[in-house]
Structure 1
């Protein structure tokens, strides 16, 4: 299972807000590694390198390697906190993963052949219902995206989850219906909706 990024960390024995502030002054960030039926491991990681990794994209869907005092842990970031004002990283939660681990992640949706889409060429508009799809996937085969082909989509058509080829071993968390991911709205549909909303507001 290849790691897409590597971070060096140290075990952390200080906890609490005061300790966290002290760590950040040193250019370090409090984090924790948990899961895989092992005790939680509080750690510190470098703020600069972790922030760069976050901004590269895919932080919550890419497998990483965190080396703690010489021992490497295969992980995936499950959550992170940002400062409400400064938008700086405050804390990261990492989940241990192995080849047998399954994860629930949000996979981005991507559309191709928009330039040849019949519905769009006739003035329609792509209405994206879901920008991501929550999927259960193997930790060693997390897809970068779900691809939907618009080459034959016409006005009024709806693209359901069945319109894409799901990666091997992956399945949506919604299994009871063929849910809609996007539609090709007729020309003026969005404008009509706006006018309707304005009329309702005027009546009120």
Structure 2
């Protein structure tokens, strides 16, 4: 009987801590935020923090892992065309724009931004055959993931001036140009 109450309490504590982290990153920048400030803002004890996380980096790691799971669910592999999945990706970003904006923005977490780029590279890599030019393995997914991360950051830092579908279309068009150019690469001699 106490299990559901405890689960609710744990979920509530985690939400408070995450919301506090986002607020503080927006105000002060990730590097300057301390665990003490997070717990004070969330109005939870340091013991409650440490029951859930090792440190602020672990908190960000958990936010990232859960965000990526939600992202993969939103994009799904349900037979939808890639552009529809990409639009779903931006709809997901839109729904959690404060969190992504805080963690990917100028004052955010470089670790989170790197993990986002790596996750995007992993998501696009299976869609491309090995490069004809063996001197550049992994270059195309890396470039595309950096371009996508820059598109996301631009969109969030500019208060999402385009609807999710429109920014998805524009970033997909840019990716198509890069892919077309990469498909014309000739092996080095």
Structure 2 length-normalised TM: 0.30
The structure showing larger relative contact order (alpha-carbon pairs under 8 Å, at least 6 residues apart) is: 2
> Which structure: larger Rg?
1
Structure 1 length-normalised TM: 0.29
When you count strand as a share of all residues, which structure comes out higher?
1
When you count helix as a share of all residues, which structure comes out higher?
2
